Amino acid sequence: MFIKLEQVSFTYLSGTPLAVKALKDINLEIERGESIGIVGRTGCGKSTLIQHFNALLIPESGRVLVDGVDTSEKKAPLREIRRRVGLVFQYPEDQFFEESVFQEVAFAPRNLGIEGKELEDRVKWSLEAVGLDFATIKDRSPFELSGGQMRRVAIASILSMEPEALVLDEPTAGLDPEGKGIILNQLKELQKEKNLTLILVSHSMEDLARVAQRLIVMDEGRIELDDDIRRIFSQVERIKELGIFPPVTAQVAWLLRERGFDVDPGVLTPRELAEEIHLKVLEGKKVNVG
Amino acid sequence: MWGNSFAIGQYIPLNSPIHRLDPRVKIVFVGISIINLFILQDWLSFLLWGGVILLLAFLSHISFGYLLKSLRPLLFLLILTLVLHFFFTPGEYIWEYGFLHISREGISKGLLIVVRLCLLILVTAILTLTTSPVELTDGIEYLLSPLKRWGFPAHELAMMMTIALRFIPTLLEEAERILKAQTARGMDLESGGLVQKAKNMIPLLVPLFVNSFKRADELAIAMESRCYRGGQGRTRLRVLQLRAPDYYFLIFSFSFVTLLSVRFFL
């Protein structure tokens, strides 16, 4: 068990008239190498939850174990926990402050005391892991890049700590479809190659369908559903109640089911959907087009 | 997300008789209270003022404990004032050690001044806890508008205050967000000497400034695209209007203050 939450509750501004209960009694287990999506309405506690994974927030009650280490312990090695569980915030390019991309990506490993050749190797590896060319980009200012490039540099600036888990809050928000595609593909590859634990918060079911295997649906500070992503997308009615709209592929499959076709609603990609329709609706018939 | 701990100026949105009062009335009340509290110097008056503050806290539905929290940022100042008065007021000494001595007059004067400061802070805290920043600036703009005749930029000043107040929580939220983001990247604020500590702040301050400039640009464009051209001919969505409770409150506060002042001068 890599990350484990036991009956975690959290309240913002605890003890004031403005107190807001953000997490209620959360139990969660995350294995190494899993790829998980977290969804829910705005304000359902997603961001609060992920900040517990790397000890930026300490639970009010209950406990969070990262590889067996309790984050609420007084002498918990917080920096080590934050290195192992890398957290990429929403709009991470807002945190840029260095003169060059190299310095920006080198900030985190430098804070861990890494210098010289190893530092350079790490920066190079991280930038290449997000699909950027080290030689051409390293000396540019992080502020003059395109939106998609900025986002990738920001992700690289966390990858350079060589985390074992990567948690991303809305990593594709505000990007064009091309930029989105690049980032999602790189993340998927990283997860496979490095056995990286990947946790993605997103409002885009299409994005999650491409990357995640397991889905956690939250509502009002609680985990309402936690299951295989295909099984969750098959429960169209239930997840709509929770403010989640399944990807278009699953919706089309569901509409076909309503019309009496035995189509699997747990289809994630257009290719899978086409296959299902071909097999179960058209019964393998080929129609000459044009 | 909601994180910040200073209560001074933190509006608590409730629906109480005090919240519903016209902001101008509340500002005038705080103004005359401050003058009154600076004139008075006897315990009975302060006791009466304490009673009035209790009453106002009760009427505003804000818990008295929470109100007292607004004293916390100034605790150091209060203690310093007390200590300075204890040790440096000449008079009948009741305790001596070397060149240090405490006088009876010092104790009574120190306590009196500290109580006065506390009352001042509490009165202003009631204003800021029960009046939203927007109402507050509306009230200030109205009260300053007679000065427009002499070229005083009352509207511009109020607009600047509104914008500044509006962006304090945004800035705090942003600072917290960036602090967290940099902490996730292993940022270290504590270690090193004074120069190093200042340098440690760079990853926090640079993004904060960059984002503030960006936001200011966007705000200017948003205001212009809604045809903002300053105060000339501008009408209000919420016109301030005095109602019966406002008059009662004014009459009450003026008679209370006059009573105490008359008692003092006689």
Per-residue pLDDT, A289: 62
Per-residue pLDDT, A288: 65
Q: Is the CB of residue A240 less than 8 Å from the CB of residue A225?
A: no
Write down the mean pLDDT value for chain A: 91
Per-residue pLDDT, B120: 93
From residue B221, alpha-carbon distances to A68, A188, B55, B189, B224 in Å are 51, 40, 46, 36, 5
Confidence label for B193 from pLDDT (cuts 50, 70 and 90): confident
Tell me which residue of A250, A289, A286, A242 sits closest to A268, measured CA to CA.
A250
Cβ–Cβ of B66/A47 closer than 8 Å? no
More confident residue, B89 or A154: A154
Q: Does B211 touch chain A (CB under 8 A)?
A: yes
B9 has a pLDDT exceeding 60: no
Mean pLDDT of B175-195: 87
A37 has a pLDDT exceeding 70: yes
CB interface of A with B, residues 40-69, below 8 Å: 47-48, 51, 54, 56
Among A48, A92, A143, whose Cβ lies nearest the Cβ of B181?
A92
| A5-9, A29-33, A155-159, A258-262: segment of lowest average pLDDT | A258-262
Per-residue pLDDT, B56: 93
Buried b vs exposed e over B43-70: b needs ≥16 C-beta within 10 Å?
eebbeebeebbeebbebbebeeebbebb
B7 has a pLDDT exceeding 50: no
3-state secondary structure of A29: strand
pLDDT in tens, A167-200: 999 999 988 888 899 999 999 999 999 899 999 9
Tell me which residue of A148, A181, A154, A16 sits closest to B178, measured CA to CA.
A154
Tokens for B87?
Answer: 């040790």
Amino acid type, A196: L
Per-residue pLDDT, B4: 43
Tokens for B23?
Answer: 């902001």
Q: How far apart are CA B236 and CA B215, in angstroms?
A: 25
Per-residue pLDDT, B1: 36
Mean pLDDT of B2-12: 52
Q: Is the ipTM of this complex over 0.95?
A: no
pLDDT in tens, A237-258: 888 888 888 888 888 988 898 8
Confidence label for B2 from pLDDT (cuts 50, 70 and 90): very low
Bridge partners of A216, per DSSP, are A38, A226
Tell me which residue of A47, A88, A34 sits closest to A211, measured CA to CA.
A34
Q: Does B65 touch chain A (CB under 8 A)?
A: no
Provide the shortest C-alpha distance from residue B228 to chain A (in Å). 29
pLDDT in tens, B156-168: 888 888 888 778 8
Tokens for B194?
Answer: 């004074």
Q: Residue A96's closest chain B neighbor by CA?
A: B207
Q: How far apart are CA A205 and CA A211, in angstroms?
A: 10
Percent of chain A, pLDDT > 70?
A: 98
Q: How far apart are CA B131 and CA B20, in angstroms?
A: 9
More confident residue, B13 or B4: B13
Per-residue pLDDT, A287: 63
Burial (CB count <10 Å: 0-12, 13-18, 19+), residue B100? exposed
Per-residue pLDDT, A20: 86
Q: Does B188 touch chain A (CB under 8 A)?
A: yes
The phi, psi pair for A167, rounded to 5°, reads -110, 125
Per-residue pLDDT, B8: 40
Spell out which residues of chain B touch residue A86, defining contact as CB-CB under 8 Å: 184
3-state secondary structure of B76: helix
Cβ–Cβ of B211/A94 closer than 8 Å? yes
The phi, psi pair for B233, rounded to 5°, reads 70, 15
Cβ–Cβ of A94/B12 closer than 8 Å? no
Among B1, B3, B207, whose Cβ lies nearest the Cβ of A95?
B207
3-state secondary structure of B22: coil
| A52-66, B18-32, B179-193: segment of lowest average pLDDT | B179-193
**What DSSP element (H or E) covers B109?**
helix B104-130
Per-residue pLDDT, A284: 64
pLDDT in tens, B110-145: 899 999 999 999 999 999 889 988 888 889 888 988
Confidence label for A43 from pLDDT (cuts 50, 70 and 90): confident
| A32-36, A98-102, B69-73, B112-116: segment of lowest average pLDDT | B69-73
pLDDT in tens, A120-152: 999 999 999 999 999 999 999 999 999 999 999
Q: Is the CB of residue B46 less than 8 Å from the CB of residue B94?
A: no
A206 has a pLDDT exceeding 70: yes
A277 has a pLDDT exceeding 70: yes
Cβ–Cβ of A94/B178 closer than 8 Å? yes
Confidence label for A114 from pLDDT (cuts 50, 70 and 90): very high
Buried b vs exposed e over B146-184: b needs ≥16 C-beta within 10 Å?
eeeeeeeebbeebbeebeebeeeeeeeebbebbbbbbbb
Among B66, B177, B186, whose Cβ lies nearest the Cβ of A161?
B186
Among A13, A56, A96, whose Cβ lies nearest the Cβ of B2?
A13
The phi, psi pair for A35, rounded to 5°, reads -130, 115
